[in-house]
Every structure is written in structure tokens, then in C-alpha cells.
Amino acid sequence: MERPLTQYIHPGCPPFDLREYQMTGGYAALQKALGSMTPKEVQQLVKDSGLKGRGGAGFSTGVKWGVVPMDDHAPHPKYLIANADEMEPGTFKDRLLLEGNPHQLIEGMILSAYAIQAEVSFIFLRWAYKKAAQLLRKSIHEAYVAGFLGKNILGSGFNLEMHLHTGVGRYMCGEETALLNALEGRRATPRAKPPYPQLSGLYGKPTIVNNVETLCNIPHIVNNGVDWFKGLSNSEDSGTKLYGVSGKVNKPGCWELPMGVTIRELIEEYAGGMKNGYQLKGVLPGGASTDFLTTEHLDVKMDFTDVAKAGSRLGTGTMVVMDDATCPVGFVHNLQHFFAQESCGLCTPCREGLPWVEKMLLSLEQGSGTEQDMELLEMHTHMLGPGNTFCALAPGAMEPLQSALKYFKDDFEKHISLHRCPYTA
Amino acid sequence: MISQKINKEVSKQDNTAKYQQHYLTDMERQFIDHEVSLVPHKSAAVIEALKIVQRQRGWISDESVSAIAAYLQMSPAEVDSVATFYNLIFRKPVGRHVILVCDSISCYVMKYGEIYKALQEKLHIQFGETTSDQCFTLLPNACLGCCDHAPALMIDNDLYKDLTVEMLESILKQYT
Ligand SMILES: Cc1cc2nc3c(=O)[nH]c(=O)nc-3n(C[C@H](O)[C@H](O)[C@H](O)COP(=O)(O)O)c2cc1C
Ligand code: SF4
Ligand code: FES
């Protein structure tokens, strides 16, 4: 089983420096692309590979790049941004790539910038990743010294600057248009789309924002081609995927596996099964903003298509396991507390609705909720759903809530009839 | 009336000029100048400026907001709207060390509540408070990105994971 993104990552050991990275084939893709491929050819290759964005939405990377104006009169500078904000609760996959092999990300970014002819690139890194910040600073410096960044890279005439930007904490910074505002020194509120960032992004110039894991795939696709990339997968969606499992399992962790392993394989084989004495009750397959799946979905393949068919989203691919000793009402209350707190306040349904949802869940959890609260919660899942808010934060928040109301209704009812939480003795 | 108002405006400007000259240290200004040189217009460096001043002074006071505003040719309200938006810009004084306890979902499942309770008992403070010796401020924080090692917390730049209540004593001892 090939693990292109993580084969040289050994948690606990320092990552490769430039020389070690090069000795294992690093920067060969850059030499190849700059030496023998046009930017359009790189775009086409990535499009043909079927790579879908690993930041949560699963949009085709090649198609996204294809919207960037490429003619001689295109506005410039164009920008390429690595979204390393990783703040979705339950998600810890980009950290592995950032700390484990920073040069892989840098090479992926240079290649992607070349494909859209960007002249300036940023890594938008979340503040908490202190070790990654240190490693990235060092690696960017090494890449400049080696001539992989700066002017006239490898004599190709292509120029690229790269900067590391560390955030100051806010979930919204991960939303791509809010990220642009944050980079411009503003509040991280989202922008209206259209215009899409590909046409008018950072400082009004064409901009691509891609997830860290997405970008780390690029050198391997350039080196090995479309068929190889498709062959890595067990499913319709190409490539490998970084999967994670957290919660009361024996071996929580993060693994690179063929796209399309099943939920059962992840929990039972890779995460070593549930901890002694605990049963699986539900999972959030791809982070806090995805719908619950339950024991009936264990054979669902973790790819974009299959998880969607089962009524949820692959999201970030990092799964949170809920066991039978954890109160689902408390679990969802915890999630809604997060979303209410991180709402940027720009649009009314989200700003006003999420705190209400949080309050109702708290009173339900404490045993003072009523049947009417259940109806109101249900109503909110529609009122804060897709199309009713300015960005995807609120609809994302509603996903675990609506599915909890569906799958764990009994638990909510019990809180109401017993006037207390049945999970606390 | 009008002249009074104008006088007031003038004195405000004087104040602003004074802030610009004396409030920010040479080092702070040097760091901010560097950030300004990287962006197309001054105001784009405001988050960096807030980070720089906070690094030196621990938090962002009203005076810091005004000084940064004057330096970047923004209004204090604009600077404050940014300062108050981000979780880790502190608009109130904090202790010498800030403890950020992850209260997000994986840490919830892995019972961060017990860690919080033990911290409350040891430090005699709740979330949002600072110990009387100014050593620690205790804050809740969203997912720290190490959910496979929940529960987790950060103190300043240090991450602690797979926490148990028993570990807290020796962790806290390292900070004075
Ligand atoms: C509230 C919110 C938070 C997000 N946070 C992140 C994040 O931390 N990292 C990320 O890569 N994408 C995040 N996204 C998705 C981005 O908006 C964007 O779709 C993604 O960075 C695009 O990269 P990709 O095409 O490579 O997946 C978030 C979206 C929303 C609505
Ligand atoms: S949905 Fe929430 S986070 Fe998104 S713009 Fe509206 S208030 Fe802001
Ligand atoms: S939920 Fe606590 S580290 Fe992710």
C-alpha cells in the first residue's frame, strides 16, 4: 500500500531538511514541471487526476484552478494561499503534514503557483501550531537559498515569493474569503461570492486558496501521473486520504490510506476498536460540521460520494467517535457552543440563531427542556440551513444537530421525561 | 461651542501625535515597519502590529489601540474592531502564563471537564480569571488540533496532551 504523502513522516522524529528531502526525490517534480511543462499542462494534469480539495468541500482542484485568468493581461500579482488554519473540532490531519514534511507542502505550493502563474504565496497557519511555524520558517528559508523560491526559479523565468502568516485564532479564518480578509488585516468575515477569489481575491487580485493536504498531493501527481494517482484509491475519488479517528478508541490517530476505506475498517483495524466497556453509538465522519452516521453505516466507504449517499459529508476525513456512555445531547450542546462562539456575527440567522440553539440544548441537557424546544430546534435546522445564511458556518453547524435529532431522538425525549440527564448517575 | 469642539479635536490630534512619538518602543516600531513593508497598504499590517505589541506587553490596552491606530493611520475604532474579533488578542491584562484548555468535541468526549475542575481547585480561579499572584490566566479554547491525544491544553507555547488530573501538578510547577 502506497502512502505518498506520509511515507517519510515518522511522528516523533524531526522532518527532512532540504537535503534529505531532495535525496528521497524531493523537488524533482518542480524540476520536471518548470523544465518541461507549461502552466496549462500542469493544470490539465491535476484536473485529469481527479484530485478533489481536502479542505472539506471536495471541489475539483483542477477545475478551480482553471477559472484563474491566464492571458497576458491578467491582473497581477496573482496569489496562491495554503489554508493551514485547521480549526474544525476533531481535525488534526494537516498538522501531521506540516510538522512531518514541510518541504512537501512548499514544493506543492510552488508547483501550484506555477500552474496559475502566481507571484506571491502565503501559508495561513493557525496560531496553535507553534512547532509547524518554526519548521516552515526554516524550510522556506532553505528553499530560497536553494533557488526554489525567489526570482527566476531554476532558470525558468518563473518568480515566486513565499510568506508565512500566523493567525490569532478564529474558526472563520479557515473559510476562504474570510481568510483573505484576515490576511488583509481585517475582521475575518466572509465576502460575497461571486466574484470568486479566482477572479478577485486577495487585494482584489486572482487568488487560489487550497488546503494543505490538497497541495501536498501535487508533487506526487506531477511525478507519477494520472493513472498512478487514480490507482491509489479504492473508490471513484482518486488518491489517498489522511483519515483520523478520535474519541474512546484504543489507538486514536491519523493514517494515510487509500481513498474509500470503510468506517468499520478505520475504527476496528486502524483505531484498534472501541475501548473496553464502550460501545460505538455514532460518528461524525469528517469533523464537527458533518452529519452523524451510526452503527448502521459502518460499511460506508469514506469517500466524497459514498458518505454523501449515506446522508453526511466526508468533510476533513477526521472522524469523531461518540460512545454509548457519552450523552448525545451534551455532545451536540458542546458542538453548538463552539459554533455559536465562532459565528462572525455578520448575518442575523447565524448570529442570533446559534446562541438560541445553544441555550435550548443546555436546558434540554440539564433536564429543563420541553417538547416545544425540540420543535424549535428542528425549525432552526431549516432556518439556519443552506441558502439562509451568508456563509457555510451555520449550515455546517446544523448538520450534526439535524442528524442527532433524527438518530438520537430517544435520548432527547428521555431528558424531557426524566427532567435530568440519564447519562449522569 | 464650535471653537471648543475644534479645540477638543486639536487636542485629540496632539494626543495622537504624542502616542505616535512616545508610546511604541523603537523595537515595536521596527517590527511593525517590517510588516508594513510586506503589504500594499499600512492598515493590512494591523493584526501583525497587535501581535507585536502584545508580545512585548502581554495584552492590548486602550493606549496600545490608539498608538497602533495612529502609527498605521487608522482610527482607534477600526483597530479595536480587529483587536476584539480575534480570540488571542487580549484586551484585558492576563497573567504571566496563559493556560488554554481545549473544550472542543474530542476533548469533551475524553472528559476535559475533569481537567478543568482540577485546575479550578488548584488555582482557585474559573475560566476568564487570573490567579492573585498574576502567574496564570485560565481560558477555554477551541480544538487545539491534537484530538487523537485528547484531552489537551496549551500553556504559552507548550502543548500538553493525553492529560490526566495527576499530571497537572508537575506541569504547573514549571511555570513561575
Ligand atoms: C467556517 C469554515 C471554516 C473552514 N476552515 C477550513 C480550514 O481550517 N482549512 C481548510 O483547508 N479549509 C477550511 N474551510 C474550507 C475553505 O473555505 C475552502 O473550501 C478550502 O480551503 C479550499 O481548499 P481545497 O479546495 O483544497 O479543499 C472552511 C470553511 C468554512 C465554511
Ligand atoms: S453564517 Fe455565521 S459565520 Fe457565516 S457570515 Fe453569517 S454570521 Fe458569519
Ligand atoms: S478537540 Fe481538543 S484537541 Fe481537538
- Residue A394 near ligand 2, beta carbon < 6 Å: yes
Q: What is the average per-residue pLDDT within A136-152?
A: 98
C-alpha cell at B158: 507548550
Which one of B101, B102, B110, B153 would you pick to mutate in the ligand 3 pocket, going by the greatest count of ligand atoms within 8 A of its CB? B102
Would you say A139 and A14 are in contact if contact means Cβ atoms under 8 Å apart? no
Instruction: Locate the chain B residue with the closest alpha carbon to A332.
Output: B105
**Cβ contact B105–A335 (<8 Å):** yes
Helices in A252-327 by DSSP H: which ranges? 263-264, 304-309
Which pLDDT does position B15 carry in this prediction? 55
| Mean pLDDT over each residue of chain A, to the nearest integer | 97
**Cβ contact B110–A87 (<8 Å):** no
Q: What is the average per-residue pLDDT within A359-374?
A: 97
Would you say A174 and A127 are in contact if contact means Cβ atoms under 8 Å apart? no
Residue B124 CB burial class (10 angstroms; 0-12, 13-18, ≥19):
exposed
Which pLDDT does position B12 carry in this prediction? 52
- Residue A391 near ligand 1, beta carbon < 6 Å: yes
Distance from Cα A407 to the centre of ligand 2, integer Å: 27
Q: How many CB pairs under 8 A join A and B?
A: 123
C-alpha cell at B80: 479595536
> Which has the closest alpha carbon to A319: A212, A256, A246, A240?
A246
**Which range, of A113-117, B3-7, B170-174, averages the lowest pLDDT?**
B3-7
Q: What is the pLDDT of residues A273-286, one digit of tens each?
A: 999 999 999 999 99
Q: Which residues are registered as beta bridge partners of A208? A: A80
Mind telling me how many Å the CA of B144 is from chain A's nearest CA? 7
Instruction: Spell out which residues of chain A touch residue B150, defining contact as CB-CB under 8 Å.
Output: 246, 252
Report the C-alpha gap between A171 and A83 in whole angstroms: 12
> Which has the closest alpha carbon to A365: A412, A318, A409, A405?
A412
- Residue A190 near ligand 2, beta carbon < 6 Å: yes
Instruction: Spell out which residues of chain B touch residue A95, defining contact as CB-CB under 8 Å.
Output: 145-146
- Residue A226 near ligand 1, beta carbon < 6 Å: no
Residues in chain A: 425
- Residue A174 near ligand 1, beta carbon < 6 Å: yes
Q: Is the pLDDT of residue A264 over 90?
A: yes
Banded pLDDT at A11 (limits 50, 70, 90): confident
Distance from Cα A165 to the centre of ligand 1, integer Å: 16
Q: What is the average per-residue pLDDT within A59-87?
A: 97
Mind telling me how many Å the CA of B159 is from chain A's nearest CA? 9
**Cβ contact B105–A88 (<8 Å):** no
Banded pLDDT at B1 (limits 50, 70, 90): very low
> Which has the closest alpha carbon to A293: A330, A266, A325?
A266
Helix (H, G, I), strand (E, B) or coil at A52: strand
Other beta carbons within 10 Å of A258: 19
Report the C-alpha gap between A413 and A392 in whole angstroms: 29
Choose the mutation target among A184, A213, A319, A424 for the interface with B, i.e. most B CBs under 10 Å. A184
Q: Is the pLDDT of residue A322 over 80?
A: yes
Q: What is the average per-residue pLDDT within A213-240?
A: 97
Instruction: Spell out which residues of chain B touch residue A183, defining contact as CB-CB under 8 Å.
Output: 44
**Cβ contact A334–B105 (<8 Å):** yes
Q: Is the pLDDT of residue B7 over 80?
A: no
Q: What is the pLDDT of residues B53-108, one digit of tens each?
A: 999 999 999 999 999 999 999 999 999 999 999 999 999 999 999 999 999 999 99
**Cβ contact A318–B146 (<8 Å):** no
Would you say B138 and B127 are in contact if contact means Cβ atoms under 8 Å apart? yes
Would you say A123 and A79 are in contact if contact means Cβ atoms under 8 Å apart? no
Q: What is the average per-residue pLDDT within A78-97?
A: 97
Q: Is the pLDDT of residue A247 over 60?
A: yes
Banded pLDDT at B22 (limits 50, 70, 90): confident
Q: Which residue in B104, B109, B142 is closest to A322 by CB distance?
A: B109
Mind telling me how many Å the CA of B145 is from chain A's nearest CA? 5
Residues touching ligand 3 (Cβ under 6 Å) are A 89-90; B 102, 104-107, 143-147, 150, 152
Q: What is the average per-residue pLDDT within A324-330?
A: 98
Whole-number percent of chain A with pLDDT over 70? 100
Q: Which residue in A94, A126, A248 is closest to B109 by CB distance?
A: A248
What's the CA dihedral at A230, A233, A239, A243 to 10 degrees? 170
**Cβ contact B106–A126 (<8 Å):** no
- Residue A175 near ligand 1, beta carbon < 6 Å: yes
Residue B27 CB burial class (10 angstroms; 0-12, 13-18, ≥19):
exposed
